[in-house]
Amino acid sequence: MDLRIKEVIKEKGKTITELADIMGINRVNLSNMVNGNPTVETLNKIADALCVPVTELFERPKNDTVSLTCPHCGKSITLKAE
């Protein structure tokens, strides 16, 4: 899953430095965590510091397909947006 930590930080009007200060860690360490593969524990700490649910830090799946059932034949039809 893709993360959107940087976007949430901006949405909250904060910088990486400000968030690091709130979390009580070094800016470089936080930056490495955000740009790397953060653990669940780290994601929870970031979410708590930003006052958002941890789910807010993840990209929402793009719903670009729709499945329908043909009312005439009962066949399943999948439509994909481009």
pLDDT at position 77: 84
The β-bridge partners of 65 are: 80
The β-bridge partners of 77 are: 68
Output the tens digit of pLDDT for each of the chain's 82 residues. 588 999 999 999 999 999 999 999 999 999 998 888 898 999 999 999 999 999 999 987 666 777 778 878 988 888 776 6
C-alpha 54/C-alpha 50 separation (Å) is: 10
pLDDT at position 71: 79
pLDDT at position 50: 97
SS3 45: helix
Architecture of domain 5-80: Orthogonal Bundle (1.10)
